[in-house]
Amino acid sequence: GNIFKNCYRELIGLEAYGATGVVEDVTVTGNVLMASELAGYHQGGSVGPALLVGGSTSLGTVRNCTVTGNTIQVRDNVASSIYRGIDITGGTSNPVEDCLVSNNMVYTPSGAGIWAGALGQVTRNCKVSDNTIYGANAAASGTASAITLRNATGFTVQDNKVRGSAHVYA
């Protein structure tokens, strides 16, 4: 039942810090995240995502986390932005694994509504189900999808809804 509005960088981050850092068995549920893409709301020019599970520079481990029943609204879309709703990204040496992202509502991100994995970073054995992505706007790069999997393995993606999306791919 928390409300997060116009925070710097991520509004909620489950990010293991350092080589031995661990985020494990954490549940994020029932929150409202209202993010703005305007530069004044972002520390050092870093943009989002609204909710981060893992972290692209993290060497630690993130596993067995649940993200469910959250509402994410991304406002003030900036044409050059790739602000994501929910980002599940493994660290440079350790993956994010065994996480559930379910029953969330994501409104109007310019980047992917839900993003998993990245170049050189593996995300594995996660389930993305029963989420709804509304009125999403395609990123300037034209590569964003409503749901994007990159370097992801052992994933289940089922029963998600994409409504009114301008993404290049669903």
pLDDT digits (tens, 9 = 90+) for 27-55: 999 999 998 877 777 666 566 789 999 87
Mean pLDDT of the region 113-131: 86
Q: Looking at residue 67, what DSSP letter applies?
A: E
Average pLDDT of the chain, as a whole number: 82
pLDDT value, residue 92: 62
CB contact set of 17 (below 8 Å; sequence gap of 6+): 58, 60
What pLDDT is recorded for position 3? 94
Cβ 53 vs Cβ 88: under 8 Å: yes
Neighbours of 20 (CB within 10 A): 9
Whole-model pTM?
Answer: 0.89
Q: Does residue 170 register a pLDDT over 70?
A: no
**SS3 assignment, position 131:** coil
E strands, 70-160, in order? 71-75, 86-89, 96-97, 100-102, 105-107, 114-116, 123-124, 127-129, 132-134, 147-149, 152-153, 156-158
